[in-house]
Amino acid sequence: MPLPMSHEDEELLLQLERSNWTLAAINAFHAMMIRTADEQALYNVACEALTSKGAFALAWVGLPRQDAESSLEVRACAGTSVGYLEDIQISWAECERGGTPSGRAVRTGQVQFADHIQSNRDFRPWRARAIQFGLHSNVALPVRLVDGEVVAVLSLYSNVPAAFGTTEASLLVRFAEDLGYGLQTLRTRAAYETALAETRKQTRNIEGLLEGSVQALGAALEKRDPYTAGHQQRVASLSVAIAQEMGMDPDRTQGLRLAALVHDLGKIQVPSEILVKPGRLNEFEWKMLQEHPSVGFEILRPVGYPWPVAQAVLQHHERLDGSGYPQGLKGDQISTEARIIGVADIVESVSSHRPYRAALGLDHALAEIRRLAPLQLDPLVVAACERVIRDRGFQFGP
């Protein structure tokens, strides 16, 4: 037969039980806080975790407001005694309504206790109401961000007097620290997402400006040379299709597109009589025309694009066997961007109308790049171009 428990034993057992409940609440809070997406959900979860096992009669989270009354706004609450908070007005200022543990916890940044609400002078305005809802003791814990700023108070009530001993208090301090940590995480994440959205917006603006300036440069050239009007646009659209077929990443493809849109920019320095001359060019004229990649490079080099735009423009007439111009580069010396623009340039030129001949069509253009690969053109680019046109039905726009 078990011995009857002494009063001390009973007290000890009760304390142990409360500590277990508090520990269980901390664990439940940890499990739930991972899934919370915003601050309100975090406050709700904290209050529910503390009261769900019935260990505490009421938990609420208050936010200190900077209004005329220095009010404490109840943002979340849970427990069997939530009716206590209905229309309640609490302050965190040094006044009668700021005398409760909750108001003092915000003011001082320290944990505050009321072991006997029934006889606690600070509870005078709410004492009758507290007793009516069976609330006998209260602990209020400041909730801080990592910089130490008190941004909320967690207030917890028990229906027995002096329920918050040293053990509970230290466990609850940990609980309030975890709540502060959760808040900080949400705020840091929100600040990061805001910064990211702003960066994306700025990037889009810069890309828009780059695009606009590139279009203007392309249009300036095409005004002087009506036969190549739209040539750069069409080369750009085929270059992008080839790059996508080859699996080039979208950011790099954007740089390639801009380079293709201005690849013949240097022709702005070539006399228009040469550009529109219907017959064969003499040696001097041909030399002038061959200057256009270098002229384009010199114009674009100072712009500081985030991609190798100027380099692709410089190299778009280079050929793998060194037979191209202006530098006679070979193999890997020629960038992928320049190889793609080189192939797209030939396909567009052969298939379109030129001052010196009629349009020859896409079949003829494909036969031409096949003839030039692999000695002059990158066979991978040529194969991708063929797939784009034959299998995917690529068509140049108007």
Closest approach, Cβ 36 to Fe ion, in A, equals: 57
Residue 192 vs 356, nearer CB to Fe ion: 356
CA angle 62/63/65 to nearest 5° reads 135
> In this chain, which stretch among 201-209, 256-264, 276-284, 364-372 interacts with Fe ion, using CB under 5 A?
256-264
Closest approach, Cβ 213 to Fe ion, in A, equals: 19
* Rounded Cα–Cα distance for residues 141 and 111 (Å): 5
Closest approach, Cβ 231 to Fe ion, in A, equals: 6
* Rounded Cα–Cα distance for residues 356 and 286 (Å): 14
* Residue 253 and residue 206 in contact, taking contact as beta carbons nearer than 8 Å: no
* Rounded Cα–Cα distance for residues 149 and 156 (Å): 21
* Residue 317 and residue 285 in contact, taking contact as beta carbons nearer than 8 Å: no
Q: How many of the chain's residues bind Fe ion (CB under 5 A)?
A: 2
* Rounded Cα–Cα distance for residues 90 and 100 (Å): 8
Residue 74 vs 341, nearer CB to Fe ion: 341
DSSP string across 217-232: HHHHHHHH-GGGTTHH
Residue 264 vs 318, nearer CB to Fe ion: 264
Closest approach, Cβ 331 to Fe ion, in A, equals: 20
Closest approach, Cβ 321 to Fe ion, in A, equals: 18
Which residues within the stretch 338-397 sit at the binding site for Fe ion (CB under 5 A)?
345
Residue 55 vs 366, nearer CB to Fe ion: 366
Which residues within the stretch 257-286 sit at the binding site for Fe ion (CB under 5 A)?
264
Closest approach, Cβ 204 to Fe ion, in A, equals: 28
Residue 358 CA to chain centroid, in angstroms? 51
* Rounded Cα–Cα distance for residues 200 and 79 (Å): 44
- Residue 222 binds to Fe ion (criterion: CB under 5 A): no
Closest approach, Cβ 316 to Fe ion, in A, equals: 6
For residue 1 the two structure tokens come to 């037969």
Residue 75 vs 354, nearer CB to Fe ion: 354
- Which residues lie below 8 Å from residue 376, measured CB to CB, with a gap of 6+? 319, 320, 321, 323, 324
* Rounded Cα–Cα distance for residues 246 and 385 (Å): 9
Select from 239, 214, 218 the least CA-distant residue to 346: 239
Select from 210, 205, 263 the least CA-distant residue to 238: 263
Closest approach, Cβ 263 to Fe ion, in A, equals: 5
Residue 138 vs 239, nearer CB to Fe ion: 239
Residue 176 vs 261, nearer CB to Fe ion: 261
Backbone angles phi, psi at 397, to 5 degrees: -70, -175
Residue 345 vs 386, nearer CB to Fe ion: 345
* Site of interaction with Fe ion (CB under 5 A): 264, 345
